[in-house]
Amino acid sequence: MNLKKIIPLVAVVVLLLGVISGCASKSGGSKGKQVIEIGSQSPLSGGSATLGDAIRLGAELAIDDQKAAFAKKGFEIKLKDMDDQGDPKKGVANAQILAADKNVLALVGHLNSGVAIPSSEVYEKNNLAMVSPATTATVVTDRGLKSVNRICARDDFQGPAGANFAVKTLKAKKIFIIQDKTAYGSGLAEQFRDQAKKLGADIVGYEGITVGEKDFSGVLSQAVTKKPDLIYFGGVYAEGGLIIKQARQKGLNMPIMGGDGLDSSSTVQIAGDAVKGVYLTSVAGDVSKTEKGQAFAKKYKEKFGKNVESYSAYGYDSAGVILKGIMNAINANDGKKPTREQVEKAIRGIKNYDGVTTKVSFNDKGDNTYAKVYIYKFDQAKYPPAQEAEISQ
Amino acid sequence: MLAQIIQNLPQVLIDGLTLGVVYAVVAIGYTMVYGILELINFAHGDVFMTGAFIGATVLFLMLGMGFLAAMPALIVFLIVIVVAGIATGLLGVGIERVAYRPLRRKNAPKLIALITSIGISFVLEDAVRFIAELKTGNYIVTAPSMFNHKFTLDIHHIMPFFDNATFQSSFLLVLAVTIVMLVSLDLFVNKTKWGMAMRAVAQDRDTASLMTINVNRVISVTFFIGSALGGATGVLFMIQYGTIDPYIGFILGIKAFTAAVLGGIGNIRGAMFGGIMLGLLEMFAAANLSLITHGAMGAEYKDVFAFIILILVLIFKPEGLFGKAVVEKV
């Protein structure tokens, strides 16, 4: 071999070795403390970014709060936040990334049930515990997965609670239902419809709309002819806000009711003044009611410069539950870093955790036995709405 | 059943007309470009969306500087729509220059240009989304509400089998502005020298170039006018519905394209008619479908209904309602 060819070859080999050793020294650098990462998955871009971002920031705050306690034990805790874009495909891809990272022991995750369901199959395979602040579809926990937990209420509790309130308290006799044909929207609307029927209300219409459209006057004209005394919408604020606005323009001044998908400041932004007289059921409690919650809201505002959204405190409590579980697992493991299986068990085993908005005890399916449904009403065009009622299981 | 449908008719007509004229103006953008280049410019729906966002930006800027309080809303609106129209017109010319003209110069197959237009449409959507969510992370933009005075059309009094219809002043605005746009475009194409040049290029590009017509310039003008109309309609859409996001162009673009096909693609008056008809059909279906089928099919099938009509029309008149059957060019 002639020398001219050998010199570049040697140069390349040296460069490669340098790169490899460079990487090695980097990963060996933080040897003083062991890293534990908490994953987070929620939509940080797209139509429900307002809610998704609130979950991430809540989790971040919880991790910041507990940094010192973990540092004492010799661990460094970090948040690994990912954007699921409210898209099941993206959620599953992110789940693979989280599962591959051995430092990730658990995650706060998913705003949308449709994303949580396929992603949790990946978590289950990898024993990665998920605590969801917001997924309400019944299927999420009904599959009996070991890794799946949630701290909020279920749709088969939220929908009927809304129907009870509509029929018994608001005295609605004729109800017009609109749903957005998604797993969340139609699931909620069906639960509402069945309970309302049982209570003797007349369902005068049950119509679907397409997500992404802006003109709902056709469906609403139909509502005008049916003269209902309550309109129920199963769906999210992007369409909900417009439906509220266009309904009021058509002179439909009866109460409009929706689920937790409307529980966002964006509903007010889109609907404007029309939002007055809108009721919503939410699985998220009003943090401004308790002292603990007010302190949380203040700290949140100071740190991020944003007001708390409905799910901020739930993101915080989800991360809190996870950290508590990990801490228990560390203690049970003689102060060594626990495995994912141990963390998974420890999280499921949590009883009477006292969070900012809710107490948490998981049952054997991973549902929170303390979860409540809250009913809110917009009296003025301002977020958050006023709490009207609080319903326990 | 029939009584209920008739009762509802005035309201359905008003809502359908609002949606229909929006389809109509966007459909013109498709049809003009097709007429001249035989290219289906799928980026046009997103030019419409960009117009809405440029309009919203101008509106917010004026709001920030306090113009909105100082000037009558109508003047503010005119400034916004003119700025957005010119900006999107230039955008359209730019797209043609950068994306389509190089292809045309190399005599690339038409399919390549079509795929390019789909690519441009993605670029526009994501560029606008990126800019819109820079600040808040939320790309749904809500414009300040204007022209929201409510009117009630008291038809019930005159003809008791009709229900009253309600609409907002924005409806009148949308209707008036689109009609002005449609009529002036029609005059432009049929009565001016430039319009004549456009028709000549549409008929036969090579012969037109022999008759001292600067074909590239005519194509640029066509893109400018089509895109400017599309962008201006975006502003109307924003005023009428209040909320916009970077994906409004997709569904609306597809429907406007359908409207253009329904009216006979390449024919401007056909596109106007097709758009209005599609809007009316869609609104009628959304309001009455569950009545007609006794609840078996809800409002969610409105698009299916509208497209079945389209298929029926195309089966019996493949060239569209106003299209002329194409005689092979020699």
Tell me, what's the pLDDT at B280?
Answer: 92
When CB atoms are compared, the residue of B8, B168, B298 closest to A249 is: B168
Q: How far apart are CA A174 and CA B244, in angstroms?
A: 32
- Among residues of chain B, what percentage have pLDDT more than 90? 40
Question: Which residues of A are less than 8 Å from B245 in CB distance?
Answer: 47, 238
Give the domain range for residue A91: 34-153+288-362
B290/A225 touch (CB, cutoff 8 Å), yes or no: no
Do A347 and A303 belong to one domain? yes
Placement of tokens 């460069």 in the chain: A15
Give B31-41 pLDDT, tens digit per residue: 988 888 888 89
Tell me, what's the pLDDT at A1?
Answer: 53
The pLDDT of residue A383 is above 60: yes
Residue A73 lies in a domain: yes
When CB atoms are compared, the residue of A181, A209, A242 closest to B241 is: A242
Do A79 and A221 belong to one domain? no
The pLDDT of residue B319 is above 70: yes
Q: How far apart are CA A223 and CA A231, in angstroms?
A: 8
Average pLDDT score, chain A: 87
Q: How sure is the predictor about A26, in pLDDT bands with cuts at 50, 70 and 90?
A: very low
Q: Write out the two tokens for A216.
A: 């709902």
Do A56 and A201 belong to one domain? no
Tell me, what's the pLDDT at B326?
Answer: 58
Averaging pLDDT over each range in A42-46, B30-34, B320-324, which range is the top one?
B30-34
**Strand stretches in B77-236, DSSP E:** 141-142, 150-153, 165-168
Phi (first) and psi of residue A112, to 5 degrees: -100, 135
Q: How far apart are CA B330 and CA B328, in angstroms?
A: 6
Tell me, what's the pLDDT at B156?
Answer: 76
Q: Considering only alpha carbons, which residue of chain A is nearest residue B13?
A: A218
Task: Tell whether A226 lies on the interface with B, counting CB pairs under 8 A.
Answer: no
Q: How far is B326 from chain A (nearest CA, A)?
A: 35
Averaging pLDDT over each range in A63-72, A179-188, B57-66, which range is the top one?
A63-72
Give B66-95 pLDDT, tens digit per residue: 777 777 888 889 999 999 999 999 999 999
Residue A51 lies in a domain: yes
A249/B295 touch (CB, cutoff 8 Å), yes or no: no
Task: Tell whether A304 lies on the interface with B, counting CB pairs under 8 A.
Answer: no
Give A330-377 pLDDT, tens digit per residue: 999 888 889 999 999 999 999 899 888 888 999 988 999 888 888 999
Helices B44-64, B73-95: crossing angle, 10 deg rounding: 140
Tell me, what's the pLDDT at A16?
Answer: 67
Do A383 and A356 belong to one domain? no
Do A91 and A135 belong to one domain? yes
Count CB pairs under 8 A between chains A and B. 114
Segment among A22-31, A212-221, A383-392, B13-22 with least mean pLDDT = A22-31
Q: Cα torsion for B154, B160, B161, B163, to the nearest 10°?
A: 30
Residue A11 lies in a domain: no
* Structural domain count, chain A: 2
Residue A17 lies in a domain: no
Closest CA to B73 of B175, B166, B143, B165: B143
Q: How sure is the predictor about B163, in pLDDT bands with cuts at 50, 70 and 90?
A: confident
Which of A217, A236, A249, A270 should one mutate to test binding to chain B, selecting the residue with the greatest count of B CBs within 10 A? Answer: A217
Residue A8 lies in a domain: no
Residue A16 lies in a domain: no
Do A210 and A347 belong to one domain? no
When CB atoms are compared, the residue of B4, B19, B168 closest to A225 is: B4
Do A40 and A186 belong to one domain? no
The DSSP code for B99 is I
Q: How sure is the predictor about B329, in pLDDT bands with cuts at 50, 70 and 90?
A: very low
When CB atoms are compared, the residue of B150, B245, B248 closest to A249 is: B150
Tell me, what's the pLDDT at A25?
Answer: 46
Task: Tell whether A253 lies on the interface with B, counting CB pairs under 8 A.
Answer: no
**A10 sits in which H/E element:** helix A3-28
Do A41 and A122 belong to one domain? yes
Do A347 and A385 belong to one domain? no
Give B145-158 pLDDT, tens digit per residue: 777 777 887 777 77
Do A253 and A352 belong to one domain? no
Do A139 and A190 belong to one domain? no
**A75 sits in which H/E element:** strand A75-83
Q: Is B91 helix (H, G, I), strand (E, B) or coil?
A: helix
ipTM: 0.82
The pLDDT of residue A44 is above 70: yes
Tell me, what's the pLDDT at A279?
Answer: 93
Task: Give B273: exposed, middle or buried? Use CB within 10 Å, 0-12, 13-18, 19+.
Answer: buried
Residue A22 lies in a domain: no
Tell me, what's the pLDDT at B231?
Answer: 95
Q: What is the CATH number of the domain that holds A169?
A: 3.40.50.2300
The pLDDT of residue A231 is above 90: yes
Q: For chain B, list the domains and their CATH numbers.
A: 2-144+167-316 (1.10.3470)
Q: How sure is the predictor about A30, in pLDDT bands with cuts at 50, 70 and 90?
A: very low
Question: Which residues of A are less than 8 Å from B163 in CB distance?
Answer: 224-225
Question: Which residues of B are less than 8 Å from A207 in CB distance?
Answer: 290, 298-300
Q: Write out the two tokens for A294.
A: 């007010």
Higher pLDDT, B145 or A59: A59
Q: Is B211 left (phi over 0), alpha (psi -120 to 50) or beta?
A: alpha
Tell me, what's the pLDDT at B278?
Answer: 92
Q: How far apart are CA B241 and CA B146, in angstroms?
A: 10
Alpha-helical regions (H) of B133-166: 155-158
Closest CA to B100 of B251, B227, B253, B275: B227
Question: Which residues of A are less than 8 Å from B125 in CB distance?
Answer: none
Give A296-318 pLDDT, tens digit per residue: 999 999 998 888 888 899 999 99
With contact defined as beta carbons under 8 Å apart, do A48 and A56 qualify? no
As a residue count, chain A comes to: 393
Question: Which residues of B are less than 8 Å from A242 in CB distance?
Answer: 241-243
B139/A47 touch (CB, cutoff 8 Å), yes or no: yes
A208/B300 touch (CB, cutoff 8 Å), yes or no: yes
A218/B290 touch (CB, cutoff 8 Å), yes or no: no
Residue A174 lies in a domain: yes
Do A251 and A381 belong to one domain? yes
Q: Is A2 helix (H, G, I), strand (E, B) or coil?
A: coil
Question: Which residues of A are less than 8 Å from B19 in CB distance?
Answer: 215, 217
